[in-house]
Amino acid sequence: MTGWLDALIQGILLGGLYALFAAGLSLIFGVMRLVNLAHGDLIVLAAFIILLLAEKLGLDPFAAVLVAAPVLFTIGFALQYALLNRTLGRDLLPPLLVTFGLSIMIQNGLLQLFSADSERLRSGAIETASIALGGGIAIGVVPLLTLLSAIAVIVVLNLIFYRTPLGRAFRAASDDLEVAQLMGIDHNRIFATAMGLAFVVIAIAALYLGLRANFDPTIGPARLLYAFEAVIIGGLGSFWGTLAGGIVLGLAQTVGARIDPEWQILSGHLAFLVVLGLRPRGLFPRAVD
């Protein structure tokens, strides 16, 4: 019984990580209907940037992410402004192909620069610290921080979307791009800002990716799939839905792993397909698309 309860708790905490992966994807889809196939590889890229900063500047990863965030915001802004904005339009193929090409370029670029070795972000005692809940169940501090950070990211994103002029512009561009343009919104800048913001979320996701487990240049695509599944399970257009989707996915994986360790990833995918079969618009749908 304790084992199952433990699996449930670990599943919810793992869901926090998947929600962080998914929040950036959800954000850029919400604003500009862009499905970024390089999202997972960008998370891995960010993890390597944090690693590099931590090593070169002698910083703790939690401090390195503060340095990495503005750098990543700039990269995201530039990427959207210079490249991805050109691909947006009625045709679906250009954004998909360009981000798919980027995904392969990032993977192989990282492979060339950092080799295929597994890396990890080191942060001293906090990595292994845990809080005993009694009854033989303990929760790790890092997994707990991951979930709390996911909640914080979603609260902040909701505040930006619904309480600021920038968020109003995001929602306007999302609802009706042409009318938004007529109202004087420079959609190229708005989209680039949204991508910059998504890259900051990616930096936070990368921090916990690197603290919780090993990473190497090839693991990006699997992270993209988890992020995508969390978004679809939760329902498009709602950040809280994305959190719920991440938790459903995390639970499915840990419960599957509890039955047979080899089934962890498979049971996550199957949970996604079941939700898709029963509720194609996700558990908490908002957007119509």
Partner 1 sequence: MRDGAPQLQAYRIATAGPGSRAALAIACMILILLAVLPAFAGRNLIQDLIFLFYMLALAQCWNLLAGYAGLISVGQQAFVGLGGYILFALTLLAGLDPLLAIPLAGVASAVFALPTALVVFRLRGAYFAIGSWVVAEVYRLVFAQFKGLGGGTGTSLVPSITSNVLGIEWVKSMFDVRTPAARDIISYWAALALMATTLGFVYVVLRSRRGLALGAIRDQEAAAAGLGVDIYRLKLAVYVATAAVTGMVGALIYLQKARISPDAAFSVLDWTAYVIFIVVIGGIGTIEGPLIGAIIFYLLQRYLADFGAWYLILLGTLAITVMLFAPRGLWGFVAERYGVTLFPTRRRLVSGAGKGKGG
SS3 285: coil
Contact range with partner 1 by CB under 8 A, out of 41-49, 186-194, 224-232, 241-249: 224-232
Residue 9 vs 251, nearer CB to partner 1: 251
> Counting Cβ atoms within 10 Å, is residue 221 exposed (0-12), middle (13-18) or buried (19+)?
middle
Residue 105 binds to partner 1 (criterion: CB under 8 A): yes
DSSP secondary structure letter of residue 127 = G
Among 86, 163, 176, 179, binds partner 1 (CB under 8 A): 86
Contact range with partner 1 by CB under 8 A, out of 58-66, 120-128, 135-143, 264-272: 264-272
Contact range with partner 1 by CB under 8 A, out of 48-56, 147-155, 183-191, 228-236: 228-236
262 — phi, psi (to 5°)?
-70, -15
Residue 283 binds to partner 1 (criterion: CB under 8 A): no
Instruction: State the sign of the Cα–Cα–Cα–Cα dihedral 111, 112, 114, 118.
Output: positive
Nearest-approach distance from CB 37 to partner 1, in angstroms: 7
Distance CA 32, CA 20 (A): 19
Residue 173 vs 207, nearer CB to partner 1: 173
Instruction: Specify whether the CB–CB gap between 280 and 264 falls below 8 A.
Output: no
Instruction: Specify whether the CB–CB gap between 196 and 73 falls below 8 A.
Output: yes
DSSP secondary structure letter of residue 284 = S
Residue 167 binds to partner 1 (criterion: CB under 8 A): no
Q: Which residues bind partner 1 (CB under 8 A)?
A: 35, 37, 83, 86-87, 91-98, 100-102, 104-105, 107-109, 111-112, 221-222, 224-225, 228-229, 232, 262, 265-266, 269-270, 272-273, 276-277, 280, 289
